[in-house]
Structure 1
Amino acid sequence: MGNDLSQAQARINALLDDNSFVELQSLVTSRNTDFNLDAKKEPSDGVIIGHGLVDGTLVFVFSQNADVLGGTIGEMHAKKILSVYDMALKVGAPVIGFIDCGGVRLQESFDALEALGSVIERAADVKGVIPQLICVAGNCGGGLSVLPALADFTFMVDGAKLFINSPDTISGNSSDKCDTSSATFQFEEAGTVDMHGSLAEVVSSMRQVISMIPNDIVEASDDLNRAAEGLEGKLTDAAAVATELADNRQFVELKAGFAKEMVTGLIKLDGVTIGVVGNREVDGEAVLSAAGCEKAADFVDLCDMYEIPVLSITNVAAFKSCTCQEKRLPRALSQMTQRFVDASVPKINLITKQGYGTPYVLMNSKSLGADLVYAFESTSVGAMEASKAAKILADNGTDAAAIEKDYAELQDSALTAAAHGHIDRIVSMADARKYIIAGFEMFF
C-alpha cells in the first residue's frame, strides 16, 4: 500500500474486521485541466475507497489522506467517492467516510468546486435510503462541513477540526478564546457530532452504531421476560431507563453532550432495533428546551427514514423559560410535534416519573398518535402539579392543603388518565421491559 497511504489506511483497518478490506480504484490519478497541466500525479488521488466487513456486515468506505495532495478534493477524487455511494446504493449497504481534507483543489478551479458539489448532492440524495456514517479524522472546513452534517451519524477524532469559518476568522474570537472547530465544541455546543474521542474510541463507537442499524432481526441473547430491576431510582433520566430496559442493558446514546435534557439513542429489544427519545432532569428541572426539541425532531425523523420503531420515555413538567427560549421554542416544538405525528413507524410512550401540561402532550402522547402508552402506578399525569393547581383553585379561607390532596388523587394520577383512556396500561416497573417488547411485537 505504501507509506503515503498509511494514515488513511490505518483508519480503515481500525474500523473493519481483520483482512476484510478490498480496495478499489487504487490507480486512479487526477485528470489534466487548464490549471494543473504540470501537476504531479499521485496514485489514489488522495482518497482510498473499497468495501469490507464490520462484525460480518458489509460496508463501503472512503478515507481521505491529507499526505497525498493534501487530501484535497478534485474531479477524480470526487468520482471515487461517488462510486462508493453508487456501489453501496446497489446493495443497500452503509457508507462510511473518514474526512481529512485540505479543501477543494485550487489547481482544478471550477472542476474542483463542481466535484465537491457532486459529493454533497449524492449524500443528500441517498439520505434515508442507505445509512451514512462520517468521521471527521483531520481537517474538515468550509463547504465540506456540510457532508458530516448530512450524515445520519457523525463522529469526530479529538484534535480534528470541523468548521465553516476558522475560529480565528470570526470577529472578536480566536482559537485560544473559543475553538469553535474542536470536537468538544461540535459535540457540546453545536450538536453536530454524535460521539468523539481517540481514533480507537471513535471506531469502537462506529462499530457499535453499525451493529444497531436494522438489518435482519437477530435472536436476542437476553430474556424478554427479564425484570427491569432498579428502575425506581432512575426515573428522572431516560438514558438510565433505556439502559435497564435494553437487551443486555446496552444503550447507544447519540449526541449525549448536546441538549442534555433530551436523550436520544438506540437499543435492541428482543433483538429488534428501537430508537429511544426521552427526557432527562438537569439541575432538578424536567423541561422541554428548543435545542432538546430540535434534537428529538431530527432523531425521530432518522428513525422514520430507516423504519426504526420509536420508544419515548417521558418525564416532563414544563417548558424551559428564558428570552432565548421564547425566540426559538415555538418553532422547535412544532418541528418535534410534526415529526412525531408524521412518523409511520410503531410508537410507544412510557411515562416514568411525571407528565404535566402541554409538554407531556407533545412528548408522543396518545393524542399525538402514540400507538401505546404505558405508565407506572406512581406516575403523576395531569394538567399541572397538584401544588400549583391548589394555589389557583383555593379561595380565601379555603384549605389549600386539602385541595392539593384531593387534586393529586383525582386529577394528578396515572390511574385517572388510564380511566379516561389516555394511558393503555399501568405496568409495574419490573414488568416494563416485557410489556414494551410485547407492544412492539404487535406491529412486526
Structure 2
Amino acid sequence: EELGGAAAHAIRSGVAQFVYETEEECIAEVRRLLGFLPGNNLDDGPLVVTGDGVGQADPDLASLVPDDANRPYDVRDIIYRVVDDEEFMEVHQSFAPNIVVGFGRMDSRTVGIVGNQPQHLAGVLDIDASNKAARFVRFCDCFNIPLVTLVDVPGFMPGVDQEYGGIIRHGAKLIYAYAEATVPKVCVIMRKAYGGAYIVMSSKHLRSDVNLVWPSAEIAVMGAEGAVNIIYRGEISGSGDPDQTRKELVADYQEKFTNPFVAANRGFVDDVIDPAETRPRLIRALEMLQNKQDTLPAKKHGNIPL
C-alpha cells in the first residue's frame, strides 16, 4: 500500500486522478465524468440544460475572499458560486492541493476550471501544482473544452528542494500549456497576482482571450509591503516614525503600482469588474468565444519542457 497503493498514487505521485471506496461509486463517477466530456476533439460536447441560465449578480461573492491578502479561504467556494447548479467535479483532489482543477458547466456547457487554492500553501505554485495544472490545461485543449482560470497566486515556491527539483522547468510546462492552448481562455484575478506566477496563470501575455479582475486585486512583481521594505529600506530606517513611514509608503505603492486599474490602463486586463458580476461576465465571455478559431504555426509538434 505504501509503495503502490491508492493513497500513494493519489496523494504522492499524482498518477491516480480519482479514488473511490466501492466499485459502484467508481462506476457512477465515471459516468458523471463522461457527462462532461465530448465524444471527440471536434465535438462541441454534451449540452446539459440546468435551468441556471446566465444568472443574477451574486452580491455575496466578494465576501468569500478576505480583504487581508494573507488570510486563506477555499477557492472551491468561489467555483461553486459561478458554475451551474453548484456542480463541480474536481480532478486530482488529493494531489498538489495548492491548485484546484476540475470540470463544471456554465450556461449548460462544459468548462475546465483551474484555480489557485489559498487554503493550502497560500496557493503558491510548486513543482507538483505546475505539473497538475499543465496536464489538465492540455487535456482540456485536446478535447476542445474552454478554460476558466481563477487567480490568487503569491508566486512560485522558494527553496533549495524546489530549485534542485527543476521548478523553472516544471513551471514552464504550465506556461507552455496555456500558450499552446487554442480553446477559449477566460481568466479572473481575484486577489494576488504576483511575479512570474501571475504570468503563468493564463495572463494576457500567454494569449488569454478575456482577462477580468476584481477591484481588490493586486498585480505586481510582489506584494506592496515586501516591495516597500526592499525599495525604501533606508528611508524607513532613517525616519522618526518607521511604522508610520512604512504605512504611508505601502499605501502610495498600492495606489501607483499594484491596483488593477494600472494593469487595465496598460492593457494587461480587459476590465475591472464588480465581483458580484463574475458569473454573468464569464458566461458572456464564453458565449462570445464560442466560435473561436485559432491555429498554431505549421510544425510537427512543439517542444514542451519535459
Distance 1:180 1:229 in 2: 48
TM-score (norm 1): 0.58
CA distance in 1, matches of 2:90, 2:64: 16
The answer for the alignment partner of 1:429 in structure 2 is 275
1:187 equivalent in structure 2:
10
Contact 2:36–2:46 (CA under 8 A) maintained in structure 1 = no
Cα distance in 2 between the residues matched to 1:296 and 1:271: 24
Q: Contact between 1:361 and 1:368, CA under 8 Å: does it hold in 2?
A: yes
Q: Which residue of 2 is the match for residue 201 of structure 1? A: 25
Q: Residue 311 of structure 1 aligns with which residue?
A: 148
Question: Residue 191 of structure 2 aligns with which residue?
Answer: 353
Q: CA deviation at 1:211?
A: 1.2
Q: Which runs of 5+ in 2 are unaligned?
A: 39-44, 66-72, 240-244, 291-306
Q: Is the 8 A contact 1:352 1:376 kept in 2?
A: yes
Tell me which of 342, 346, 354 is aligned to 2:180.
Answer: 342
Q: Does the CA-based 8 Å contact 2:97-2:120 persist in structure 1?
A: no
| Aligned residues of 2:99 and 2:123 also touching (Cα < 8 A) | no
Aligned residue pair count: 267
Q: How far is 1:185 from its partner?
A: 1.4
Displacement of 1:357: 1.2
Percent of matched pairs sharing the same residue: 26
Greater RCO (Cα-Cα under 8 Å, separation 6 or more): 2
* TM-aligned CA deviation for residue 222 of structure 1: 0.5
1:225 and 2:62 aligned: no
Aligned equivalents of 1:276, 1:315: Cα separation in 2: 14
User: Cα deviations across residues 232-257 of structure 1 (Å, max 9, x unaligned)?
Assistant: 34444332222110000101000000
Give 3-state SS (helix, strand or coil) of 2:80's partner.
helix
The amino acid that maps onto 2:26 is: V
Deviation, 1:309, is 0.6
Q: State the Cα distance separating 1:323 from its structure 2 match.
A: 2.0
Contact 1:231 1:241 in 2 (8 A): yes
- Corresponding residue for 2:289? 443
2:85 aligned with 1:255:
no
Q: What secondary structure is seen at the aligned counterpart in 2 of 1:333?
A: helix
**Judging changes above 3 Å, is the alpha-carbon distance between structure 1 residues 181 and 230 closer, same or farther for their aligned structure 2 residues?**
farther
Please give the root-mean-square deviation of Cα atoms over the aligned residues, in Å: 1.6
2:18 maps to a residue whose letter is M
**Corresponding residue to 1:384 among 206, 218, 222:** 222
Provide the C-alpha distance between the structure 1 equivalents of 2:224 and 2:186, rounded to a whole number of angstroms. 26
8 Å contact kept, 1:187–1:196: yes
How much has 1:308 moved relative to structure 2? Answer: 0.4
Q: Distance in 2 between matches of 1:195 and 1:303?
A: 17
**Compared with structure 1, are the counterparts of its residues 206 and 233 closer, same or farther at alpha carbon in structure 2 (3 Å cutoff)?**
farther
* Maintained 8 Å contact 1:238/1:314: no
**Does structure 2 retain, via aligned residues, the 8 Å contact 1:195–1:205?**
no
**Displacement of 1:380:** 1.7
Gaps of 5+ in 1: 1-174
Cα displacement string for residues 160-212 of structure 1 (whole angstroms, at most 9, x for unaligned residues): xxxxxxxxxxxxxxx5xxx2222111111111112112222222221211111
1:293 matched to 2:130? The reply is yes
**What letter corresponds to residue 301 of structure 1 in structure 2?**
R
Corresponding position: 1:405 with 2:228: no
Q: Distance in 1 between matches of 2:60 and 2:197?
A: 26
1:280 matched to which residue of 2? 117
